[in-house]
Chain A
Amino acid sequence: MSGREGALALVAAAALVAVPLLLPGWVAFLLTLALAKSVVVLAIALLLRAGLVSFGHGMFFAAGAYTVGLLMKRVGVHEAVLLTAAGIVVAAAAAALVGLFIARYRGIFFAMLNMAISMVVYSVLLKLYWLTGGTDGIGIRTPVILGMTPDRESLRLAIYYFTLALTLPAFYVVQRFWNSALGFVLRAVRDNEVRVEYMGTSVYRSIYAAYVLSGGLAGLGGVLTGFSVGHIVPEQAYWTTSGEFVFVAVLGGPASVPGPLVGSIAFEFLKSYASKYAAFTWQMTLGAAMLVIILFMPGGLWTIYGWLARGGRRWAWSSKPSA
């Protein structure tokens, strides 16, 4: 990250801190949801680095959410920090297990096997009624945050700030990861697996490591979504949920770290407005938006930042007196 991008990140973080204090409550709720899901989108973007598309990340999303639901309902844990940690660990462990098998596959096989396994998870969540409540799902009560129970009025803000407090570090972690050895090796894997092996680096292990990290992130997104929505359902592991994350990754621009956040916020608001003003055709509105993005901004919404940055430089250059 350059100094300028670091400054931008700080400004964006400050804006996210200030926004819910200035805007109506429903905006804070949509933003909470957008932040929570952006972490899952980030998990998708992480694998896209290696050229891998997962149409099954709903399973890790659900793993995080159900860990919270079950620990609350069956064990009686209410501390949000503890629940979050458990959700991440369970989702990462699930990814560690699934990854053993799935890290061997590429392309369409990788995408479809993820989907297949997530559909198995979906069925299990659906059928184990005595444990998961089946289609009824599990209601999530107000969590205790660091020993404090937020009251009704401050609950929304408390959940928002809790979500923000975990989302921002997640973005920082992924930013570090992008520039790490493994982050670059993943790009190398997408470009040329044979050469990676001929450098003495295991392609399987690199993908496996990325998969576990990605699963953990998706789990975090599931935990945070559970807290903000207050209810979890098997649909979180359904393939359309997974598809939505891929959709948002492409919408925002998976090649950049801010892309998933921008995409996620744009998506939640677009979906909300589209279902308000075009209740029966909101999916069509989303589809049209996607078409426009793919045709004119193949790098996603984050491309706009590049245009602005370049435009600014061009402007600065042309404002110099010409010789």
Chain B
Amino acid sequence: MGVVLETVGLTKAFGGVVAVSDVNVAIAQGAVVGIIGANGAGKTTFVNIITGYLKPDAGRIRYLGREITAHPPREIVGLGIARSFQIPQVYTSLTVLENVLIALVSREKASLRPWAPLSTRAREAAALAALEPFGLAEHARRPVTELPEGGLKFLDIALSTALGPRLLLLDEPTSGVSSEDKFEVMETLLRIMREREVTVVFVEHDMDVVSRYAQRLLAFVDGKVVADGTPEDVLADPGVRKAVLG
């Protein structure tokens, strides 16, 4: 399998704090990669740099062999990299369904059309299908503000999957989600992503989720990747145990 994403010497500092320090990672197509690390270890910064929200101070990012370093998020999304957010980023004045419909027109490159209706039968069906794995289809007509914390999280993820990415970056997908729903949704999500041959990279604090779903695990400490391997190996690493698990 080919490499989807490759970073070379990726570095980013905020003032005196080096958030990401010389990160060299290659991620294989179709892989499910977990990222762990203590708060402030640079996990989210890493995601922010890849998706173009932050410019790296040094280093390069290649996606499918193509240079995407410091390209704006909009362009990077257009190339097939979607992300979800640690704090759900949704449209709070709209309904659940409308949120997904906007993702779908964006994917179709039809989001600037001022005449044709947003909601069509085909698009609505696609939106409901995107909400289904998260148990949100039945709440589609509700205003987003009526969703509980976990529901918002799932909607945020549903929005990123609705964009039809080839690489999906999830920033703490299960934080704020009840422990009953956590595993079920991760399972369904990852099965669908596998069927679509989507590569998944997820930042996670829950070690049960990590060891169960990640095929490969990266551990960040002070902006550096200190361990890279199978979840068993990485979680057994004494350095990782000390820095990440406490």
Interface positions of A (Cβ within 8 A of B)? 176-177, 179-185, 187-188, 190-192, 194-202, 205-206, 209, 213
Q: A197-B72, A209-B114 are in contact. Are A187 and B159 (CB under 8 A)?
A: no
**CA A200 – CA B106 in complex, angstroms?**
6
Is A206 in contact with B91, judged by CB distance below 8 angstroms? no
**CA A209 – CA B91 in complex, angstroms?**
20
* B contact patch SS: loop
Tell me which of B77, B113, B115 contacts A199 (CB under 8 A). B77
Residues of B within 8 A of A206 (CB): 111-112
Is A200 in contact with B114, judged by CB distance below 8 angstroms? no
Residues of A within 8 A of B163 (CB): 199-200
**CA A183 – CA B115 in complex, angstroms?**
9
Is A180 in contact with B73, judged by CB distance below 8 angstroms? no
Residues of A within 8 A of B72 (CB): 197
Is B93 in contact with A181, judged by CB distance below 8 angstroms? no
- How far, in Å, is B150 (CB) from chain A's closest CB? 19
**CA A176 – CA B112 in complex, angstroms?**
14
Is A181 in contact with B74, judged by CB distance below 8 angstroms? no
Q: List 16 interface pairs A-B (beta carbons < 8 Å), by A numbering.
A: A180-B115, A182-B111, A182-B112, A184-B94, A184-B118, A187-B94, A191-B92, A195-B89, A197-B73, A198-B73, A200-B78, A200-B106, A200-B111, A201-B106, A201-B111, A213-B114
Q: A179-B117, A181-B110, A201-B111 are in contact. Are A195 and B93 (CB under 8 A)?
A: no
Residues of B within 8 A of A205 (CB): 112
Is A187 in contact with B91, judged by CB distance below 8 angstroms? yes
Is A180 in contact with B51, judged by CB distance below 8 angstroms? no
Interface positions of B (Cβ within 8 A of A)? 51, 53, 72-74, 77-78, 82-83, 89-94, 98, 101-103, 105-107, 109-119, 159-160, 163
Is B111 in contact with A198, judged by CB distance below 8 angstroms? no
Is A194 in contact with B77, judged by CB distance below 8 angstroms? no
Is A185 in contact with B89, judged by CB distance below 8 angstroms? no
Tell me which of A179, A185, A187, A197 contacts B93 (CB under 8 A). A187
**CA A194 – CA B160 in complex, angstroms?**
13
**CA A188 – CA B83 in complex, angstroms?**
17
Is A179 in contact with B77, judged by CB distance below 8 angstroms? no
Given contacts A180-B117, A181-B112, A201-B74, 18 further A-B pairs with CB under 8 A are: A176-B117, A181-B113, A181-B114, A184-B94, A184-B98, A184-B105, A185-B111, A185-B112, A188-B91, A188-B102, A191-B90, A192-B92, A199-B102, A199-B106, A201-B112, A209-B112, A209-B114, A213-B114
Is A190 in contact with B89, judged by CB distance below 8 angstroms? no
Nearest 9 A-B pairs (CB), nearest first? A199-B106, A200-B77, A191-B91, A201-B111, A195-B89, A181-B105, A182-B114, A201-B106, A184-B118
**CA A32 – CA B52 in complex, angstroms?**
52
Is B118 in contact with A181, judged by CB distance below 8 angstroms? yes
**CA A252 – CA B73 in complex, angstroms?**
38
Residue ID in chain A nearest B162 by CB atoms: A199
**CA A74 – CA B73 in complex, angstroms?**
50
Residues of A within 8 A of B51 (CB): 198
- How far, in Å, is B216 (CB) from chain A's closest CB? 25
Residue of B72, B78, B114, B116 with highest tally of chain A CB at under 10 A:
B114
Q: A177-B115, A200-B74 are in contact. Are A184 and B89 (CB under 8 A)?
A: no
Residues of B within 8 A of A200 (CB): 74, 77-78, 106-107, 109, 111, 163
Residue ID in chain A nearest B163 by CB atoms: A199
Tell me which of A176, A182, A192 contacts B89 (CB under 8 A). A192
Residues of B within 8 A of A180 (CB): 113-118
**CA A66 – CA B107 in complex, angstroms?**
42
Residue ID in chain A nearest B78 by CB atoms: A200
Residues of B within 8 A of A177 (CB): 114-115
Residues of B within 8 A of A184 (CB): 94, 98, 101-102, 105, 118
Residue ID in chain A nearest B106 by CB atoms: A199
Residue of B51, B98, B103 with highest tally of chain A CB at under 10 A:
B103
